[in-house]
Structure formats: structure tokens, C-alpha cells
Amino acid sequence: MCPLFTGPKLKIERARQHINDLQVRFTAFSSSDYYSFGVEKDVNSGKRFLKFEVTKPLPSDVAPIIGDALHNLKSALDLAINDVVFLKLGRYDAHTRFPFRETRNELEAAIKGALITQASKTIADLIVNVVKAYKGGNDALWTLHELNILDKHRLLLPVIHVGVLHGVGLEDDRGNQFTGLTMLVEAGRVHIPSIPGHAGGNFKITNKGKPTLSVFFAEGLPTEGQFVLPTLICFVELVSNIIEQFERVV
């Protein structure tokens, strides 16, 4: 028989592997030619400006990988509950899940007659009073729960944002070369910094530089606007901590 909580730990490790896969994909994408950067003319003012545009989407499997990482973490919690039930009552139960409820009162009521309370009142109390598996009790854990539900109905598509370009090269009308420039990107327009030796006029781009890529969760998600990788890593740490708490008291 496997040691207690082996299953949950394997699920957590699998979630880590999914996160590593995402990191590999993001790094490869960041190194690819996924954007355009050029000189354009404003149709209203007639003035030229520098335009930045993302021209290629993230790999299509990114959203499913995010979902897989989240599901493995939720599954780790479910397996942990069943491990406790098996240890104390000698059987697994197909309907036993890690309990989530909207309020503390609802959680207490749901867990009161559940197998986990019969198996270990200590664990049941831990879930209510320390882990606080209800909305407003443990916001990060509740968010993990919500994302798992959402992923069953829609892909958790991330969004790309580029705010800075590094190492840009420009040449002005007089043939002056300006290299290694750092430029801010906002709403598709690139802000030209003050450049010593440049008296104004038009530019042509000699090096379109290297963008700093950020990948966020999209609008409408509980994690809206948060960085994907750091958020997933926080979820891993959260679930790992819960399993460790179970181990200490069982």
C-alpha cells in the first residue's frame, strides 16, 4: 500500500509539470517573431508614429494546459480527503470530495454529516476553521475552486501584453544611428524617448528590438489581470500547504 497522501503529492507534481510546460511555451513564443513594429502615418494628423502589434497568438494548447494544472490541484485535495476516509474507515467513497461552500455556515452544515467528519473530526475542523474552504474565508482557495468550474464550460484563454521594447535601433533623416533604445508601448503606439543628438523629424527602424512579454488571465475570470505563471505557482504552494497540514494532524 502506498504511503498516505502519495496520490495528492503526485497530482501536485503533475501540476508543476504542466506549469513547466507553460513556461517552455511562453519562452519559445517570446523568442519567436510574434509581432510587427513599424512606422505608420496618422490619418488625422498626417504625422508619422511607431506602431507595435502582436501578430501571432499563443500556442493553442496553452489554455488546456492551464486547465490541466488547475484540475490536478483540485484533484489533489479530493484525493487527500479520500485518503483520510480510507485510513480511518477502511474504504474509499466515490462521492466524497473536498468540500467547498458559499458560506461558513453552509460548509459546517455540509461537513457535519459527511464521511470526512466520521473519519476525522480534526480534519473536518481544520477544513472549516483553518483552511476555510468557503467564499470569503480563503480567497485564493475559492478562486482555484471557481476556475476549475469555469474550465469545464470555457477555455481559460490568457492574454498577451507587451509594455516595453528593449534594444530598438532607429535612424533619422540625417543618417544618425540610435541603438540600444528602450521604449514604452501603450495601446499599440510606441513612445519615442528623448534622444540626445536628435533634432526631430522622421525615423526608420533598423532594429525592432526585443519585447518584454507578459501573459495574463483574461477579463471575466476570477484571476483577471493576474500573471498566469506566478498565479499557478501560488496555487501549487497553497494546495501543498493544505496537504502538509493534513499530514501533521492525521
DSSP annotation of 5 reads T
pLDDT score of 200: 57
Number of domains the chain is built from: 1
pLDDT score of 91: 87
Give the pLDDT band (50/70/90) at residue 197: low
Residue 198 clears pLDDT 60, i.e. is over it: no
pLDDT score of 202: 74
Residue 71 placed within a domain: yes
Residues 191-197, mean pLDDT to the nearest whole number: 70
Give the pLDDT band (50/70/90) at residue 38: confident
Residue 131 placed within a domain: yes
Residue 143 placed within a domain: yes
For residue 88, the domain's CATH number is 1.20.120
Residue 24 placed within a domain: yes
pLDDT score of 2: 65
Residue 186 placed within a domain: no
Residue 62 clears pLDDT 60, i.e. is over it: yes
Residues 183-207, mean pLDDT to the nearest whole number: 77
d(CA 55, CA 113): 55
- Burial classification of residue 111, based on how many CB atoms lie within 10 Å of its CB (0-12 exposed, 13-18 middle, 19 or more buried): buried
d(CA 87, CA 119): 8
Residue 44 clears pLDDT 60, i.e. is over it: yes
pLDDT score of 193: 73
Instruction: Residue 35: name the closest of 24, 51, 19, 21 by CA.
Output: 51
Residue 42 clears pLDDT 80, i.e. is over it: no
Residue 195 placed within a domain: no
Residue 175 clears pLDDT 90, i.e. is over it: no
How many angstroms separate the Cα of 198 from the Cα of each of 6, 45, 51, 102, 173? 65, 22, 20, 61, 10
Which three cell numbers mark 6? 502519495
Residues 219-248, mean pLDDT to the nearest whole number: 96
Report the chain's mean pLDDT, rounded to a whole number.
91
Residues 10-23, mean pLDDT to the nearest whole number: 98
Residue 44 placed within a domain: no
Tell me the helix, strand and coil percentages in the chain, rounded to 5.
Answer: 45, 25, 30
Residues 25-36, mean pLDDT to the nearest whole number: 93
Residue 192 clears pLDDT 60, i.e. is over it: yes
Q: How many degrees, rounded to 5, is the angle at CA 195 between CA 190 and CA 198?
A: 110
Residue 118 clears pLDDT 90, i.e. is over it: yes
Residues 203-210, mean pLDDT to the nearest whole number: 88
Residues 15-22, mean pLDDT to the nearest whole number: 98
Residue 179 placed within a domain: no
pLDDT score of 174: 82
Residue 39 clears pLDDT 80, i.e. is over it: yes
d(CA 2, CA 26): 36
Q: How many degrees, rounded to 5, is the angle at CA 101 between CA 96 and CA 106?
A: 100
Residues 160-174, mean pLDDT to the nearest whole number: 89
Provide the residue range defining the domain that includes 80.
6-32+59-157+225-249
Of residues 232 and 193, more confidently modeled: 232
